[in-house]
Amino acid sequence: MTALPLGRATPAPLAAPPAAEPVALLQLSGDTADAASAVYREVRRGRRVVAVVAGGDRAVRRLAETLDAIGAPTVTPAAGEALLHDGVTLAPGPDVASSRPVEDRVAPLRVALAGCGVVGGGLLPRLLADHRFEVVGVLVRDPGKARDTALPRHLRVTDPAALLAREPDVLVEVLSDASTGLALTRAALSRGIDVVSANKQAIGGDLAALTALAVSGGARLLYSASVGGGAPLIETVRRARRHGEIVRIEAVLNGTCNFILNRLADGMAFDTAVAAAQAAGFAEADPSADLDGLDAAAKLAILAHEAADWRLPVDAVARAALSGAAGLPSGRARQVARLDLETRRAGVTFEAVDGDPLFADLADEGNALRVTTADGRLFTVRGRGAGRVPTAESVWADLGDLRDVAC
Ligand SMILES: NC(=O)c1ccc[n+]([C@@H]2O[C@H](COP(=O)([O-])OP(=O)(O)OC[C@H]3O[C@@H](n4cnc5c(N)ncnc54)[C@H](OP(=O)(O)O)[C@@H]3O)[C@@H](O)[C@H]2O)c1
């Protein structure tokens, strides 16, 4: 596939993606996972995408379905209609040879995967099938557990030190345990091993310190999936910051609360709604981090770092808890996370958002964010904030960014 970002001749380097929101023209060889990833990576760079897809209308339809699952909805214009729309436009085009020519000649990136649950289990088959990567080990808690993803015996590791002893180039940290994830991330960075993390509770505690550790260790730390899953919230904050001083961030960051609030609005009892969220894979067995706002607070700490190098302790975020319909504002209620960069206040509250189209009609797993800069410009984004497919895709895009720099 070929990417022709208009107004930019070279691919964006890791630290300085484009300041404007140009258009990317992609010529894709079909409806493959690679094609969807190529589109997604342009979307998260803030670009509108026009993709010409080989394989006719069927390939376009299948690619549109894959992108929808990731959280990047598409437009397929009718014949004669303009090609350039907001978001992603797909159009059928001529066959092109599938290409990974340059990358295929470099050594595979050695990947240590920490975690093989919802997110790790989505990544592992893709890593194993792609010869640009070599999986050197997979850290789990219970090596004998039945999984929905085949985990080869020789890759199973239960000791974090043994995982790093396999000498990876990159650690993909998708554990559900904050302290183990943080210790592993620190150990990797201090040894010069790059880290891609989705673990907001691990990295949200002190991202500035981890970033400094990465710099001193000569490693890179990427964590797009830690806030917003597949929705490029961190990238949007970075883009706004390149535009000018950020004064305010408002966001819906927690899918479990969305799910429960949507059910409460339909008249479901609170306990039933929590049980339904657990059954649907949104809420964990202990949903307290979601309901008490701790999950959103950790994400706010990461966004504060991105917005202004603000070292916001998670416990300094004022939090309201969701414990039932009583106490919720009337109308369409959402858990809204806010950062005020001028007063340095951070909070997670439940608010009526009926008049706010960005937040009001969010689906269960939908996340959304609005950034306001000092000159009044608004940067907004919506997407799928949770789930295997979008979250794994976001981690995959971080791995792609690492590889682009390594090549
Ligand atoms: N799921 C999402 O939609 C989503 C979205 C964005 C970010 N995230 C973040 O991504 C991370 C992974 O989420 P998930 O949904 O994939 O979690 P999960 O399904 O619960 O899987 C967690 C994995 O971590 C392993 N693990 C936990 N503690 C461990 C320990 N002390 N030592 C070794 N292995 C350990 C588990 O091992 P066993 O399999 O043996 O139990 C499991 O494989 C979390 O930090 C989460 O916040 C998730």
Spatial separation of the C-alpha atoms in residues 405 and 407, rounded to whole Å: 6
Answer yes or no: same fold for 101-228+389-406 and 233-386.
Answer: no
Distance 214 CA to ligand 1 centre (A): 23
Model-wide pTM > 0.85: yes
Mean pLDDT, the chain, whole residue set: 90
Spatial separation of the C-alpha atoms in residues 138 and 396, rounded to whole Å: 16
Domain boundaries, the chain: 2-93, 101-228+389-406, 233-386
What region, left, alpha or beta, does residue 376 occupy, with left being phi > 0 and alpha being psi -120 to 50 degrees? Answer: left
Is the per-residue pLDDT at 407 higher than 60?
A: no
Nearest-CA residue for ligand 1 atom 8 is: 198
pLDDT value of residue 176: 95
pLDDT, tens only, 140-180 = 999 999 999 999 999 999 999 999 999 999 999 999 999 99
Spatial separation of the C-alpha atoms in residues 318 and 263, rounded to whole Å: 25
Spatial separation of the C-alpha atoms in residues 397 and 33, rounded to whole Å: 12
DSSP per-residue letters across 330-384: SSSEEEEEEEETTTTEEEEEEEE-TT-HHHHT--TTEEEEEEEETTS-EEEEEEE
| CATH superfamily entry for domain 101-228+389-406 | NAD(P)-binding Rossmann-like Domain (3.40.50.720)
Give the number of other CB atoms < 10 A from CB of residue 254.
28
Better pLDDT: 105 or 329: 329
Which of these, 197, 388, 381, 402, lies nearest to 298 by C-alpha position? 197
pLDDT value of residue 194: 98
Distance 181 CA to ligand 1 centre (A): 10
Is the per-residue pLDDT at 20 higher than 60?
A: no
Q: Which atom of ligand 1 is nearest to the CA of 143?
A: 40
Give the residue, out of 70, 113, 141, 299, with the most ligand 1 atoms within 8 A of its beta carbon, to mutate for a pocket test: 141
pLDDT value of residue 98: 58
Q: Is 224 in the pocket of ligand 1 (CB under 6 A)?
A: no
pLDDT value of residue 404: 82
pLDDT value of residue 103: 52
pLDDT value of residue 99: 54
Angstrom distances, CA of residue 37 to CA of 7, 69, 91, 172, 396: 22, 12, 17, 18, 8
Q: Is 141 in the pocket of ligand 1 (CB under 6 A)?
A: yes
Q: What is the CA radius of gyration of the chain?
A: 21
pLDDT, tens only, 118-128 = 999 999 999 99
- pLDDT band for position 101 (50/70/90)? low
Nearest-CA residue for ligand 1 atom 30 is: 141
pLDDT value of residue 52: 92
Report the Cα–Cα distance between both ends of the chain, in Å, rounded.
Answer: 17
Residue 9 carries which DSSP code?
S
Mean pLDDT along residues 97-108: 63
Contacts of 319 (CB under 8 A, 6+ apart): 292, 293, 294, 296, 297, 347, 348
The percent of residues above 70 in pLDDT, for the chain, comes to: 91
Q: What letter represents residue 29's amino acid?
A: S
- Report helix, strand or coil for 249: strand
Q: Is 22 in the pocket of ligand 1 (CB under 6 A)?
A: no
Give the residue, out of 123, 140, 200, with the most ligand 1 atoms within 8 A of its beta carbon, to mutate for a pocket test: 140
Q: Is 312 in the pocket of ligand 1 (CB under 6 A)?
A: no
At the topology level, CATH places domain 233-386 in: Dihydrodipicolinate Reductase; domain 2 (3.30.360)
Distance 160 CA to ligand 1 centre (A): 14
Q: Is the dihedral of CA 133, 139, 143, 148 positive or negative?
A: negative
Give the residue, out of 70, 113, 118, with the most ligand 1 atoms within 8 A of its beta carbon, to mutate for a pocket test: 118
Q: Is 177 in the pocket of ligand 1 (CB under 6 A)?
A: yes
Is the per-residue pLDDT at 80 higher than 80?
A: no
